[in-house]
Amino acid sequence: MTVAQSYTIESVASITGGVCYGKENLIVKTLSIDSRSLQLPEEILFFALVGARHDGHLYIKDLYQKGVRAFVVSNSECTDLKQYPEAGFILVPDTLCALQNLAENHRKNFSFPVMGITGSNGKTIVKEWLYQLLNESYSIVRSPKSYNSQVGVPLSVWNMNSEANLAIFEAGISQPGEMDQLSKIIQPTYGIFTHLGDAHRENFKDEVQKLEEKIKLFSSCDSIVYCTDNKLVDESLKSRYGQNKELISWSRNQATNLMVVSEEIKGNRTFIKTKYKKETKEINLPFSDKASIDNAITCWLCLLNLNVDDETIKERFLKLEPIAMRLEIKEGIGDCTLINDYYNSDLGSLGIALDLMNQQQKDKSKTLILSDIFQSGYTNHQLYKAISKLLEQKKINRLIGIGEGISSQSKLFTCNASFYRSTDVFLADLNRNQFKDEIILIKGARNFHFERISNALQYKAHQTVLEVNLNAMVHNLNYFRSLLKPSTKLVVMVKAFSYGSGSTEIANLLQYHRVDYLAVAIADEGVELRNAGITIPIIVMNPEPHSFDTMIEYRLEPEIYNQTICLEFEKALKRNGVRNYPIHIKLDTGMNRLGFVHHDIDTLLSLIVSNDHFFISSVFSHLAGADEQQHDDFTARQINSFTQWSDQILSQFSYPIDRHILNSAGIERFPQAQFNMVRLGIGLYGISATHQEKLMNVSSLKTTISQIKEVSKENTVGYGRKGQLQTDTRIGVIPIGYADGFNRKLSNGHGKVMVNGQLVPVVGNICMDMSMIDLTNTDAKEGDSVLIFGDDYSVSKLAEQLETIPYEILTTISRRVKRIYFQE
């Protein structure tokens, strides 16, 4: 959701070519395309976007009840003014086109400079760093987070207002033809190309086509900043724009506008010397990785081109901070949940963060720690009055306001609120015992340094953490959804602590993204989810008779796999006086695990057909070898058997019954057997049998180096003196052992971990709580991060070392390992 100047429904209809129904004079200030994310509903114009698996028109009734009154729709059946007497509707042929046309028209109202950034990687980093480097000199409008898509760009451009004098927008594409529309919306006067990489390559004929599509963004630019070291980028920009635009470039290899003379890395800092207009210039960067250095040089060249003086550049680059691309969810003191979003502060991102907060356990109290918000375009009174309304709508229990601005408007807030002039004053007054069993959102502008508050409230039991990327999980969910028919339902497996990722956090995310069912292994897992506020249907795959009463109490739906379990569950239903309860029938078509076999079906039907205590919600089976081509004939026989047996069952009932047999591998490899439901398991967590390149890694197991010591070759390392040394060795001790899930079979060089981008072997036997690694050929220091598995060293590679499967590794990570969740 984004905020701009006011428009009437009538004026929006005129701009978009739509037809008005109802209240034509409603005034709107904000745009929304997500019914789950609402701020100040009376100011919203909701666009009912329609996609392959979603239809915004379905949520109009709910939005109206929540106070939204203005809608852009493409379905005339939704414009019933008797049902929505206070609403205003704009009927258009295509709601996405209407959103884009409105933003394009809005852009025409402003003549100040607009930077347009594109490339395969680094767009958001460059945008955010330019904001950091320039916000003391300009009033800047920029894309929220990484809003760079066909929807994100118009929402970003809508932020342009008369208070600003510079805009910075990023644009990303995944298909040919998409940049044509984004270019018209942004109309940049100043172009920046970051990097050409592999992202979305599969949707383009080749790298040349992808690049040619991306640089369409620059058609309206006066000048373009880029690096000439990629020959294809250099040649393409010169060929298309060299005659009519100013090309401003930097290079490590050739004379150009900014020529890198030397780069010296010392620890985590990089000292760069360059030639610019025959002058030697130097900066000191607080980073040492190549991607950050490249992005920083691009920003440096932009500042030089804007005539920012050298001393100012040096001073601002020293203050350059890492970009928190994602909200971070951690375990806090006193059984609290912390949500860190302390690098970003504006009204739009506050709404996003509050929505994430509301995805968490709904019965917990909610506390917001909020700093002053700068450059909002509102007066302090207008801004904090709007925030007060937002907090009331989101049911925030307590506000801690930090800063002169928010403190001056303390009387506007009706919730339990306290105010402090600065972060230092708050920390001096902090009583950690005041925070217990609640969700705490820490949301502040960068210069308030709220990371200090996070550190004070974070539970610090273990340096070893499992980082879970919720954005990657949503990407994987959407990938598998893209393989399904729009009508196909989705069951997602969250058993075994969601494959080690954490139960309630993952379930909350999946509920937010409207999956149809969750599935757990045992009743206790389902009870935990219900207690955390999960309301969608939950299937228990391994139900046990002693838990049937609990399952009924918590509305958990059992898998019924034989006659005995069916009769026992019927007894429980009678005992609890319950009728018409959903059950799920398991058929064994070849897995030879749980399930009815073919000759049992008549007996099953005799138990259920005339029984009013339960009804069949679904019939399903398990594929034994869907992930391996060598078993395809067997899989085909399983699918054929399931079709025949389930047909036999469904023919006896007049009500609809869902059918599902496909697992993650099956969804990818046997789409013809979708029936009307599928089960997604390991694929959600980033593992694919056939298209690994389509998925994103979700989990990263990390620890740190506790101690480094020099050990002479005459000595040994670890229990049993198994760590035999061939030379004098630099040994690092890391706080992770087999009690954390770091398998003891990785001892004595069988396993490797990654330190500063370099694989190093395990030395000696892995202990219960610690392990030793060989750092002899690295420049590692105590406190450096160690990657056990993650983006740069996959869990699949670790599984190969152990001669096992990723499932085992993920599910054996101890619960004492802290889970930290990231979400953009």
Helix locations, 73-201, DSSP H = 95-107, 123-134, 152-157, 178-186
> Looking at the DSSP assignment, which residues form a beta bridge with residue 404?
none
Cα distance between residue 330 and residue 442, in whole Å: 11
User: For 39-43, 61-65, 619-623, which range has the lowest pLDDT when averaged over its residues?
Assistant: 39-43
What was the pLDDT predicted at 99? Answer: 97
Assigned CATH for 699-823: 2.40.37.10
Cα distance between residue 292 and residue 816, in whole Å: 33
CB-side neighbour CA atoms (13 Å) of 57: 18
Give the CATH fold of the 469-694 domain. Answer: TIM Barrel (3.20.20)
Mean pLDDT score, 338-347: 74
Neighbours of 137 (CB within 10 A): 14
Among 485, 709, 719, 722, the one annotated catalytic: 719
Cα distance between residue 154 and residue 12, in whole Å: 14
Whether the Cβ atoms of residue 454 and residue 436 lie closer than 8 Å to each other:
no
Could you report the per-residue pLDDT of 234-268, keeping only the tens digit for each?
999 999 999 999 999 999 999 999 999 999 887 67
User: For 57-71, 158-172, 342-356, which range has the lowest pLDDT when averaged over its residues?
Assistant: 342-356
pLDDT > 80? residue 689: yes
Cα distance between residue 299 and residue 456, in whole Å: 33
The secondary structure of residue 692, as a DSSP letter, is G
What was the pLDDT predicted at 343? Answer: 61
719 is catalytic: yes
pLDDT > 70? residue 142: yes
Among 127, 364, 495, 818, the one annotated catalytic: 495
Cα distance between residue 481 and residue 51, in whole Å: 12
What was the pLDDT predicted at 15? Answer: 96
Could you report the per-residue pLDDT of 187-234, keeping only the tens digit for each?
999 999 999 876 556 678 888 999 999 999 999 999 999 999 999 999
Strand bridging mode 785-789 / 677-680: unpaired
DSSP assignment of 185-202: HH--SEEEE----STTGG
Helices first, then strands: H and E counts in the chain? 26, 40
CA distances, 49 to each of 12, 19, 46, 478, 623 (Å): 16, 17, 9, 17, 36
Whether the Cβ atoms of residue 741 and residue 817 lie closer than 8 Å to each other:
yes
Instruction: Give all strands (DSSP E) within 775-813, no chain letters.
Output: 785-789
What was the pLDDT predicted at 27? Answer: 92
> Looking at the DSSP assignment, which residues form a beta bridge with residue 760?
753
The residue behind tokens 């590679």 is 797
Could you report the per-residue pLDDT of 460-504, keeping only the tens digit for each?
656 898 999 888 999 999 999 989 998 999 999 998 777 777 778
Binding residue ranges: 593, 768
Angle between helix 632-650 and 601-608 (nearest 10): 30
Domain positions in the chain are 2-98, 110-258+289-318, 327-457, 469-694, 699-823
Give the CATH fold of the 110-258+289-318 domain. Answer: UDP-N-acetylmuramoyl-L-alanine:D-glutamate ligase (3.40.1190)
Binding residue ranges for substrate: 593, 768
pLDDT > 50? residue 630: yes
Using only C-alpha atoms, the chain has a radius of gyration, in whole angstroms, of 29
SS (H, E, C) 787-824: EEEECCECHHHHHHHHCCCHHHHHHCCCCCCEEEEEEC
Mean pLDDT of the chain: 90
Could you report the per-residue pLDDT of 285-318, keeping only the tens digit for each?
888 778 889 999 999 999 999 999 999 999 999 8
Structure-model confidence comparison of residues 321 and 223, the more confident one: 223
> What does the block give as tokens for 718?
């670890």
CB-side neighbour CA atoms (13 Å) of 445: 20
Cα distance between residue 761 and residue 753, in whole Å: 6
Angle between helix 9-16 and 95-107 (nearest 10): 100
Nearest to 99 by CA among 175, 185, 177, 179: 185
With bands split at pLDDT 50, 70 and 90, how would you rate the model's confidence at 323? Answer: low
Give the CATH fold of the 327-457 domain. Answer: Protein-Tyrosine Phosphatase; Chain A (3.90.190)
Assigned CATH for 2-98: 3.40.1390.10
pTM given for the model: 0.71
What was the pLDDT predicted at 513? Answer: 86
pLDDT > 90? residue 764: yes
Amino acid at 703: T
